[in-house]
A and B are shown apart, each in its own frame.
Chain A
């Protein structure tokens, strides 16, 4: 994987030609990066210090947007709490359940590819459809689960209409759709050298020991990667709560991304929304750095090909 290049090289004519050729090949991305990422990124910082409603030109307000967030916007505080609650549970639970499922499928079983396809499928269903199915399935009046409960003489469970149950319900649906993670783990389980298990067996290790002392350590790099991605995506969680619960009931599922969207496109507080976006961005960066820093303690980069 190492590329042998001289450390300090002048821009000789050959190098210049290589540079131009290289830039030409990556130019689609480079142009896209400048126009659709860098310019919006800088503009977003600019907007976050302004009051801007699309109609009138931006009006400089200094740090007012950021101050308002923490002092005059209880819905922001609420959305941060909801997001932390959601991500704090969904990311680890998703990683754990997908990893356990992958291990279950990695044993000698009949119909393995069938099960794998089945568990994978929910993760590629359109989010709109996922939202519709669960909205109906969990409906307090005509949903399948509650109709069954009533049929059995049990009380109804207001999955989506009770503020205390709405977030756990969303987390459950999230876990249902973690098949892509499971597939990634399944692939990495196949990369664990058999010799390690054989050696462990020789030392008298049982199934649990092998799982905990061989399988898990060997998979920690992939687990870390998926955990980070789960956090990054979880913090931005929008479509499912937006279509499933509209941020309700009683703002219980109004996550940061929903609050941001409302500010931007419902109330046209474009400047304030940009400030919210930067808080979200900083949170993601900080969380990723923290995870990377602490990962040295639990991630095993032993002999792999990396």
Chain B
């Protein structure tokens, strides 16, 4: 601090300057501490994923080492195709996407938008009561309806098909109805009024005016539903006994059951991690490209409780 002395060098001025410097220094210390904490946290958040990928590349001898190997050399990339072909994972993938994720996403978007429009932009007696009822159903634990639903679906002959997972999506989901309602209400009423004067029906207004404006919100709903379907375990495990019908989540769980029960195979863990990594990859890609929409959507839903 003795360097760069300005033209006036009285004791007063020097004191003033140290007074001035103290907050700057403490700000520096605070900054360094903050970054230190953030980096340590970031590493501990990423480490499990790093462990997953690095373990996926190991062979027998690399699994049991002490201390553990974080970067296996040589890397056994062949573990990925080999693990993937342990069971019919291609089929599970196709099942998940085409029988579950896509149809349920389509259904939940259409139905939730329709219902949300009825709650957000139409006036009718009983609307507010039904909306409260709709929101209240979110508090009902799945465990309560789980057993009777199983009995109902069994009676209908829907077990071992994706109907129990897809058809309810065509009734909308309270969570998404709430989200879209909040969004629809931010759209100026004048737009609807103008269309009404031009003779548009309410459905026409929804289809031609509201939905195009609500694209970001619809995208969030679609993304969340798709990810839900990709991740869902409990529903499929109850409704789908036939291995040919499984979604990806059940395949992964089954791989764990079978490889670990054999026990002797050291490749159990690398294979399990390889399949886990492949299953996580689409989520990573989707998240990478839609991060902003996604995070904004999440914050939107949680806020206006």
Contact = CB atoms under 8 A, between A and B. Distances in A.
Interface of A: 3, 5, 9, 11, 15, 18-19, 21-26, 28-33, 35-37, 39-41, 43-44, 47, 54, 101, 104-105, 107, 109, 113, 115-122, 124-129, 132-137, 139, 142, 144, 147-148, 150-152, 176, 180-181, 183-184, 186-188, 191, 221-222, 225-226, 232, 235-236, 238-239, 243, 257, 260, 264-265, 270, 273-274, 276-278, 280-281, 284-285, 288, 306
Interface string B280-301: 1001100100010001101110
Contact of A28 (B115, B133, B276, B291): B115
B11 interface: no
B3 interface: no
A288 B172 contact: no
B127 to A, nearest CB: 6
Contacts of B195: none
Contacts of A22: 118, 122-127
A36 B65 CA distance: 52
Contacts of A125: 231, 280, 283
B249 to A, nearest CB: 5
Contacts of B177: 29
Nearest to B118: A25
Contact of A126 (B249, B256, B302): B249
B99 to A, nearest CB: 17
Interface string B242-268: 000000110011001000000000000
Interface stretch (B13-21, B45-53, B74-82, B214-222): B45-53
A98 B79 CA distance: 36
B130 A26 contact: yes
B230 interface: yes
B302 A150 contact: no
B233 A26 contact: no
B122 A18 contact: yes
B269 A104 contact: no
Contacts of B24: none
Given A22-B126, A109-B35, A243-B256, A43 B148 contact: yes
28 contacts: A25-B117, A25-B202, A26-B130, A35-B171, A39-B148, A40-B145, A41-B144, A101-B41, A109-B38, A119-B45, A126-B248, A126-B249, A126-B252, A128-B276, A129-B280, A132-B52, A132-B252, A132-B256, A133-B52, A139-B269, A142-B68, A183-B299, A191-B303, A243-B233, A243-B256, A265-B238, A277-B141, A281-B143
B106 interface: no
Nearest to B44: A176
B272 A132 contact: yes
A21 B202 contact: yes
Interface string B202-234: 100000000000000000000000010011011
B88 interface: no
B27 to A, nearest CB: 10
A118 B46 CA distance: 7
B233 A239 contact: yes
A18 B148 contact: no
Contacts of A187: 296, 299-300, 302-303
B305 A225 contact: yes
B29 interface: no
B57 interface: no
Most central of B70, B118, B143, B280 by chain A CB within 10 Å: B143
A147 B68 contact: yes
B200 interface: no
A277 B147 CA distance: 9
Given A21-B124, A124-B283, A186 B134 contact: no
Nearest to A179: B45
Contact of B123 (A18, A113, A127, A136): A18
B84 interface: no
A286 to B, nearest CB: 12
Given A126-B249, A274-B147, A109 B34 contact: yes
Contact of A280 (B48, B128, B130, B141): B141
Given A15-B125, A19-B124, A151-B67, A137 B48 contact: yes
A251 B238 CA distance: 22
Nearest to A226: B302
Contacts of B128: 3
B149 interface: yes
A232 B139 contact: yes
Given A15-B125, A117-B291, 18 more contacts: A15-B124, A28-B172, A30-B130, A32-B170, A33-B171, A36-B145, A39-B152, A101-B41, A118-B45, A126-B280, A136-B55, A147-B65, A176-B48, A180-B302, A222-B303, A226-B302, A270-B147, A274-B147
